[in-house]
Amino acid sequence: MNRRNTLIMALLCLTVALPAGDAAGQQKTLKDQLVGAWLYVSSEFVAPNGAKQPSPFGANPKGITIFDASGRYVDVEMRPDRPKFKGSPNYRETASAEVWGEAAKGFAANFCTWSVDEASKTLIQHWDGALFPNNEGRETKSSIILTGDELKLVGTSPAGSTDTDVYRRAK
């Protein structure tokens, strides 16, 4: 009886320890881990001389970035304390260029295609459209640092500054 109980216990332990199928051996790719919606948390800009620059989106930015499984990407970021437009309900047609300019300084929206170089943990983006038209047609690369539900993308601008964007997985 003792031998039978030992065998049953050993089989139970083995059943609990072994994963179902090959799930443990199949870790998700970095690309698969990026798919979904991410909430914008913060940005840090560092000039080539090492000086930190303020984010155009303020200390408490709002935004969302979405990576879809087919390789499409959309990103919207904003400064929540942008001044409101004044005037008629047709403000889009009546607002001055100056008012629009101030609103645009604290807002960004873009879309692109994306892929991941798994070996170097690099996000590669091909910009299709952006609020800042100079980005359209560009390819950018950012290092990916993914820790649980926090995503950091670290890239370098054409001017040589380093940009670190931080996101939290949307739930």
Angle at 117 between CA 155 and CA 26, to 5 degrees: 125
DSSP conformation class of 152: E
CATH topology of domain 28-169: Lipocalin (2.40.128)
Residue 65 neighbours by CB under 8 Å, 6+ apart: 37, 38, 40, 73, 74, 75, 76, 167
Average pLDDT over residues 55-67: 93
Q: Which of 37-41, 45-49, 96-100 has the lowest mean pLDDT?
A: 96-100
Helix, strand or coil, per DSSP, at residue 108 = strand
pTM of the model: 0.80
CA distance 41 to 167: 5
What pLDDT, on a 0 to 100 scale, did the predictor assign at position 107?
Answer: 94
Q: Which of 142, 162, 161, 160 is nearest to 152 (CA)?
A: 142
Reported as a single tens digit per residue, the pLDDT across 107-137 is 999 999 999 999 999 999 999 999 989 889 9
Q: Which of 33-37, 42-46, 131-135 has the lowest mean pLDDT?
A: 131-135
In 1-121, the DSSP E strands lie at 36-46, 52-53, 62-67, 72-78, 107-117
